[in-house]
């Protein structure tokens, strides 16, 4: 080197090169040793291992459990249908439940079975004769209400009705009782006959 003013000359070494910034960037990009490793908590022998398959005994046990549940539901449903009259007698609100499934239930417990009617002539006058059976379908003794018969025309308008008390006041469980009702000189326009208990008006 030479001074521009006095002309003195000397030797000057070049400055040392600075550290490359790439190495710093690489160090900054390196993961911190304290950062959690998501795979570190899983043992090496369990990584990628599928869930163990159920044994044949386990699968048969599960199947048997489902079959037992299905059988129990079927038995409960069949019992409720078979003894629906008894259930409705003891618990009248259950009749609406049976009606939801389209099953008619007589919550009274007394039913009118095998009834029919016919016309005949007696002393020159027409007579309507109604016959049938009263049956106690419940599991306890029940009072038998009077039977009501009504005659209607083609428009289902009632023309006449009459009632008959049962031959005996009560029926034991499963007992049936026959009855017969006669109406002399029925209205001439009567076309249809309806039969029910008097308290069902």
Q: What is the pLDDT of residues 82-111, one digit of tens each?
A: 555 555 555 555 556 655 655 555 566 888
92-to-72, 95, 121 alpha-carbon distances in Å: 25, 6, 43
DSSP structure class, residue 155: T
SS3 content of the chain, % helix, strand, coil (to 5): 25, 30, 45
Q: Which fold has domain 110-200?
A: Immunoglobulin-like (2.60.40)
- Which has the closest alpha carbon to 178: 107, 143, 130, 108? 130
The residue that leads in pLDDT, 133 or 49, is 133
Q: What is the percent of the chain with per-residue pLDDT over 70, rounded to a whole number? A: 59
d(CA 76, CA 71) in angstroms, rounded, equals: 9
Encode pLDDT of 22-73 as tens digits. 544 444 444 555 555 555 555 555 555 555 677 878 888 888 888 888 888 8
Distance of alpha carbon 90 from the chain centroid: 22
The per-residue pLDDT for 130 is 94
d(CA 47, CA 110) in angstroms, rounded, equals: 73
Q: Is 175 exposed, middle or buried (0-12, 13-18, 19+ CB in 10 A)?
A: middle
The residue that leads in pLDDT, 90 or 163, is 163
Domain ranges of the chain: 71-107, 110-200
Two structure tokens written together for 120: 């005949």
């Amino acid at each position: 080197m030479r001074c521009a003013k006095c002309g003195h000359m000397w030797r000057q070494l070049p400055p040392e090169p600075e550290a490359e910034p790439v190495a710093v960037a690489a160090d900054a990009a390196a993961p911190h040793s304290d950062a959690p490793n998501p795979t570190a908590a899983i043992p090496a022998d369990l990584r990628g291992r599928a869930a163990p398959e159920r044994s044949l005994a386990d699968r048969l046990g599960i199947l048997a459990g489902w079959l037992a549940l299905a059988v129990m539901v079927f038995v409960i449903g069949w019992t409720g249908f078979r003894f629906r009259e008894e259930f409705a007698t003891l618990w009248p609100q259950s009749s609406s439940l049976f009606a939801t499934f389209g099953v008619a239930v007589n919550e009274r417990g007394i039913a009118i079975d095998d009834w029919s009617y016919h016309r005949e002539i007696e002393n020159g006058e027409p007579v309507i004769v109604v016959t049938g059976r009263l049956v106690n379908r419940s599991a306890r003794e029940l009072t038998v209400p009077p039977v009501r018969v009504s005659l209607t025309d083609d428009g289902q308008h009632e023309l006449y009705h009459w009632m008959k008390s049962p031959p005996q006041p009560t029926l034991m469980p499963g007992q049936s009782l026959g009855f017969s009702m006669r109406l002399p000189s029925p209205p001439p326009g009567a076309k249809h006959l309806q039969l029910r208990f008097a308290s069902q008006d």
